[in-house]
Every structure is written in C-alpha cells, then in structure tokens.
Chains A and B, each alone.
Chain A
Amino acid sequence: MSDALLTVENVTKVYSRGGLFGGGTFRAVDDVSFTLRADRAEIFTIVGESGSGKTTLSRMILNLVTPTEGAILFRGSDITHLQSRSARMRFMAAVQPIFQNPFEAFNPLSRVDRYLLTTARRFCGATTRAEAERMADNALRKVGLSFIEISRRFPHELSGGQLQRVAIARALIPGPSLIVADEPVSMVDASLRMAIVNLFRTLRDELGVSIIYITHDLATAYYISDRIIVMQKGKVVESGDARAVLENPKHPYSILLKSSVLSLDAVLEGELSE
C-alpha cells in the first residue's frame, strides 16, 4: 500500500472539555480510515454537518493537529513524525491548504503579494524578486488572474471570489500533489462559486492535483467529487463513489441529509412538498 498518496488509518481525536479538575471528554473524530490513490488525481469529498468532525480531520491531514490515536501516512511516511524543518517543508510543498474565509486567510494589514512571493522563495528557491514574481504570475494565470492585477493590493481591495483565487494560486506555486480545501466556496457569491468549483476540476484534470474537498453542501459535492465519505458526530457512516452514494444513499443519516437538500423540482413541477 506504500504507493498510496495518503493513508488515514483509524484516526481518532479526543478533546477534553473540563476545567482545572478535568471534565467530560469529546470525541471530535472517531476511528476514520481512507486512502487516496497516488497514480490518478481525484477529488475526494468529506461531507457532514457542523460538529461532524470534518474540519478537525482536515486539520490533522494538514499536520496542524496531532491525532490522539491512529496514523496519517503521506506517501508511506507518518506525518506526525516529521521533526526536522526540512522534512516539514517537503511535506508542505506537497500538501497545501485552502481555507474557508479568504478575508481571514490573508492578513488584512499586509499586501497579498507577500504570501505569493514568500511561497515562491521558500519552496521553489526563487532567488530574485523578478523570478519570484514570474512564478507567482505563472500560478495566478492558472486561476484566471495575473500578478499586475493584484500586486501591492490589500485583501479588502479585492472581492471574495478574487481573493479565494489568489489563495488557490498561492497553494499552486510549490506544485503540490494534494490540496486540502475546507469549505472553499461557502463565503463566495453564487455567481462566482461555479468559477472556483470548475477550477478544482481543471486542477485535477490538467495539473494532476488530488483534492480533499470538505463541505456541508451535498449538491456541490455531487457536481464535483469522484469519491465521498459522509461523517456524523466524528464517525464515517457511508463512503464510496460520489454519484452512487448521493443518488441512492443507504445509511439513514445520509438519507436524511439528502432529503433535507432543498430541491427545485418543488417549484418546477408540483406544489410545495411538505
């Protein structure tokens, strides 16, 4: 199995929720396992409501949170054992995050190009500013922007959609093989949402980048994902091919989720279904 891109083996995360004298414990993620193939890029979606543990799981995959039990292997080696800085840098060059709120992901007091240029310098060894700008521009073009457009701008001077695209471009600079996107479009306007969702598709097809896509929106999940896992209160209740699972879910919770999705057929055909 060592050729798998990412292996999540029985990962559990327990938070203690008591004061000084201890208190109840809370299992945010409970015995989750799945693997991502290395040979073919795919979009692997984690679906669940708030409190289902999907964000904690994504934080563990990004090595921002250490699991209480189980292991996460990236290309065969356990990421929790990355001690040396160079090992961590190599990991980060291959696995990059996209966060939910672009306005929070960028420091409001510094210009956006600082993150692009630093990523270029630190991961791709760009020595001169021109070289770093060229790399940044190259990545920005992949998301439909250009360096001149966003250079020396503060985050609040760009729209949510533009800023999220800059975030994606920044993640693309080191040429990662895995992007972990936590609800990347929930804060973006509807008209721009499709542009970014389609972008993930092109990243998979043209750049061969695998994507872990975290969302509570089943409809977008259906549109974009290859494989899917449904999480409830930290546990995986159902998993498999995205279209198959969403078209006829087996687990009662997945069925409940699907029936709660607001469909348009009510207004297109009959009266409002209760």
Chain B
Amino acid sequence: MSTITPEIVAEHGLNEEEYARILNALGREPNINELGIFSVMWSEHCSYKSSRRHLATLPTEAPWVICGPGENAGVIDIGDGQTAIFKMESHNHPSYIEPYQGAATGVGGILRDVFTMGARPVANLNALRFGSPDHPKTRHLLSGVVAGIGGYGNCVGIATVAGQTDFDPAYDGNILVNAMTVGTADADKVFYSAAAGMGNPVVYVGSKTGRDGIHGATMASAEFDDDSEEKRPTVQVGDPFTEKLLIEACLELMAGDSIVAIQDMGAAGLTSSSVEMASKGEVGIELNLDEVPQREENMTPYEMMLSESQERMLMVLEPGREEEAHAIFRKWDLDFAVIGKVTDTNHLTLLHGGEVVGDIPIGPLVDDAPNYDRPHDVKPAAIAAERPDVPAPTELGATLHQMMGSPNLSSRRWIWEQYDHQVMGDTVVLPGGDAGVVRVHGTDKALASVTDCTPRYCYADPVEGGKQAVAETYRNISAVGATPLAITNCLNFGNPEKPEIMGQFVGCIQGMGEACKALDYPVVSGNVSLYNETNGIAILPTPVIGGVGLMQDYKKLVRIALQNDGDSIYILGDTGGHLYQSIYAKVIQDIHVGPAPRVDLAQEKAHSAFVRGQIEDGTLTACHDVADGGTLVALAEMAMAGGKGITLDHEGDHGFWFGEDQGRYILVTSNGAALEAAASEANLSLTKLGRVGGDSLLGQSIDGLKQANEDWMPGYMAAV
C-alpha cells in the first residue's frame, strides 16, 4: 500500500491539522481508501464544519414537528395520521459545469432524500439564480438548467409547482440551482436511517455503481489504475426512468415491515450512507465491496466508496426478508444485492477480494469531524453614509410598464411551461401564484409550498435579510389561505474563511432563527452550500427558504387573479415608502445603496392570521402579498392574472407605490364593509386603494402590461 504523502493529503482537501486528527482517530496512518472516506466525510459538504455550530441555533421544534434536522428530510404532522416530508438541496457547482445533467441530478437527489423516508413525492420546487442576462453564459445555463429540471421531474412524474428565478451579475461565475421536494406519508410509515440488529443484512438497491463524480479520482486512479483511459468526466448523468422505478419499488417494499433502516446514497454515496446509518444506530457496518453492483470493470474500493452514481439506496433489512425484498426489486428491474451486514464493532469495515481494505471507527469519523468557529464580522454592508434620495419617476404608469418588462419582474412562464406542473392531478394552484398548492391525494386537505429569498436585502443587511426570507415564504403561504407550518432551507454563500462572508452567514442565520421563532415556523431540514466564489468574487448571500403550509379545505383557497368587476381592493399593513434596495431604486434609478426594509415579526404573524381568517370566512375574492417591486407591481400582477383592470382612488407618491415595506398584502373583496370591520376589530391598518374594473391600470392597458411582462424571457431566450 502506498504511503500517504502530504501532496495526497492536500489533494483530498484536508489541511495538516485535519490530517493529524485522522492519525489520532485511527491511531495509525490511513490507507488511501480510509483517507478518501475521511476526506469526504470531513468535507464542508458532509461535515458542515463551518456551519454546524450556527445551524444549531435555529429553532427546530413545534408540536407538529415529527422529525427535525438530522435525517434525510424533515417530517411534520398534517393531521389524520398523515405527514408532510420535505427538504431542499443545492446542485450549484455541477449545474455550472453541465447545466442539464447538473440540474437533473439535483432533482433526482432531493427526490431520494424524501422518498427514502417513506414519502411519495407530491411536489417539486426550485430556486434558481443566474448571472446578468448580458453575460455570455447566462442563456446557455438557464436553458440547460430548466431543461434538466423538467427532463428529470417530468419523466419521474412529480409536478413542479413553484420556484424562483433571479438574475444578478453576482452569479455570473456561480449560478445557484436549489431543488426542493415535498412528499406525503402516513405517520406510521415514516422510515429512518439508524441501522440496528447485529447481523442484519445491508442491502444495496437501484442502479449500478460507476466511476461517476469521484472527487480527487484523477489522483487516486493514477495510483491504482495505471492504464486509465481518457480522463474521466466527473459529471453524473441522471436516469429519471430508473428513479421512477426506484420510487415505486421502495414504496412497495415500505408497505410491508421488512425495512429496519433506509438511506439514499447522495453525496459521497456508499461512504456517507453507510457511515450515517452506522453512526445513527451506534453500530458497525461491514461491507463486502465485491458484492457491489458495478457498471465498469476493475473498480477499486476507493472508487466504489466515493462514487456518486445516481439512483441508488442502501437499506438494512430484517433478517430473512431478503428474498421478499428482492422479488419486488426484480419486478421493477432494479439491482438488488446484499453487500454487508450490521456488526457490533462500531467500525466501518471494508472487504475486497478477501482482504480488509478499510477499517475505521465510526465514532471518531463522525464525532471528531472538524467543527470550526470561523471569524465573522456581522454588519449591514450597504448602508452607505451618504446616500442619495431615490427620485420620483416622470410618469408612474410608464415606469410600471418598464418594470414589468424588466428581467427580474418579468413572467417566468417560459420556465414553468417546461415543467409538468399538473401530473398526479392534484395541483390546484399552478406556478405563477403565490404558493404552489397540491391536494393531499384523496382528501380536501392541501399543502402549499414556496421558495423565497431576497439576496439584495441579505447583502444590505444579513439579519434583516434572513428574517425577510423566512417572512416572505410565510406570507406567500398565508396569501393562498394555508397555515405556514415549517421550513427547509438552502444556505448559499461565498467562502466562509473570509470574515465578511462568514458574517453574512451568521447574520442571516440569526435573522432566520428570530423569524422562525417568532412565527412558530421551525426549521426541519436544510442544506448549506459554501465557497460559491469565482476569482474571489462571491455570490450575494442567498439563504433560500422553502416553506410548507397546510389548508384543511382546498376549496376555500384564493388565488391572485382579480375575479369580479366592482370588487374593492385594499392593502393590509402600513406603507412607509421604503425605497432603498427596492427594484424601483435598482432598475429605474440605478441606486444600489441603502438599508434593507425592516421586518416586524409580530405584525407578520398578526397579518397572516387575519388574512387566513378572511380567506376561511370567504370574504376575499383574490389575495396577493406585496413583494419585489412594491404595491403597484403586486396590483399589476393581479390585474394581468385576472385579465381585468383597476381604477385607483388612492393618492400616493412613488414611495407608496414602489416602496418595498414588508408584511403587506393586497386583499380584494366583494364585501368591503365586512373586511373593513374585521380589520378595525383586529386593530390592523387597512387602506382602500381602488376597485376592479376596466382594462387598464394607471393608463397602461392590462394587455400591454401583460405583453411586456410575458415577452421578455421568450425574447431573451430566442436571441443568441
């Protein structure tokens, strides 16, 4: 066996101190397999070494939380013995290298995290960030990512119901592709990953293992595979057909009682899945790598342990149940192999060709993982001492028209029409609304889900931005009439070794935590993606929040589209006219400095309760939260969706119409008196803005606004 040189250690991304810890954990020098395993388990991605202590501050509990962070996905109670299971994950880097496959395998990976817990996936969401539309790579990346998300999700047959897409030059060299899946399972059919039962079989199912995505594989194969052919691509290719079979096969097996534990093979495949199962169960696992189904010849233990081939799962079965399980996987034409067993050694033991090729104590591998308290400097960044006033536009209507056709406010129809958003027949609010809503199959209940984040606020003020991201999902879920229950998240940041970036991270987490706590809206799962930097230029801090809420009766939901001529239009919440960091300031006035709007969490809670109450009572005919672009943009969106005009009878300056003050909703009703009485009883600020009617808004025809709004993206994508 080769000795481990400092170069090999460095190529595995381990620093000297970390390597010393490995020597200490093992009490000897690792072999290359063991080094590979330590390196992936102690990578930022798997060990959360920069983020762990901060994540630990997030609130994760509520009476309805069945399983918080720590498992493959979070689980919440949705009543009647049913649960919702969800998580979000990043696939940023792979999507930049190969947008189609990167995004596709991102969707595949997050689906597995959800169905590995026993859930049938019922909705996919995503949050995408691209560089400037003018950047030469943006079109190619956007078209590949969207095709990849659709290509995978459509084929597997899970509706993609909501998402978010933004452009900003900060993502020119690091796009973000975050994918979220929501599933449902019966509460007594939730599966966990803790291995148990000495001697129980460890079973591999799904696709065969190839040399996909092995990090540092160049080096390792030079060591072990002299006649290595062409340099191997590290890009994984997704196979959604196999994923669909895997979902059906796993759910069929899960209907019985033969599974002790189950875990998808995600990042660091066989390594992280087996280590996590052993660690959670406080047992050992012995794997005989000769039994691993292999797609290529002469695979080394190193390659097998580190391969990130897709569409694979690892399970521990009850003893003697192998044949029954095998029959199911045979029916679905999937590989099935007993590759090891649970042991009482508390070690991960690897056998290959009759030899022990790795033997690592699980405790140190997991518990001794680095856990850094990186220096951080939390401070609002963009509050310039001297900042200009944000001037008024020359003409309100024309400015609205210009904003509706700008890249970040334009319609995303070009994207979501490439996603099957209706498959499974339960989607009752399609993309384009405030939240995607899918019925809980066969019931009147429905789940509302959404992804949100406003990176420009997070950059200007990490704490407020962190709060805002949580609050915006809370609002979007409330706006359809659902009760927000819990969130998942995907925290995308630059290099945590820089104090200002770490400061953004810590600040955002602080804000998120405050919001989750105040709103009774805990974190049940999530993911962290750091080092999103190219040539020292970091992305904007982008803590994407995925929120999930529940409606008892989907028939009561409201949408954003204006329904009836003559209905009265109100805004709930005060408008202070906060223009700094607004779309108006950025797009129309080219002003990028100034503080982010503040989030009043007590008010968020009160407003949400009020809105949900009014929807429940049937008072509202349409509802929409006020977000990017402010009040006038929200009104235009409602008008376009309903194909109806609005007559405004409220006077306001540009701060009123374009300001991005938080916590506000547009409420539309046929019964203004009832709404006004309810608001005054609840002591909430409600302002009448006008009424539905005609075919224009501020002199702009709704058709014209719609055209500007709909045409930007198809036009952009058609150009070369």
Q: Do A and B bind each other?
A: no
Which residues of A line the B interface, CB within 8 A? none
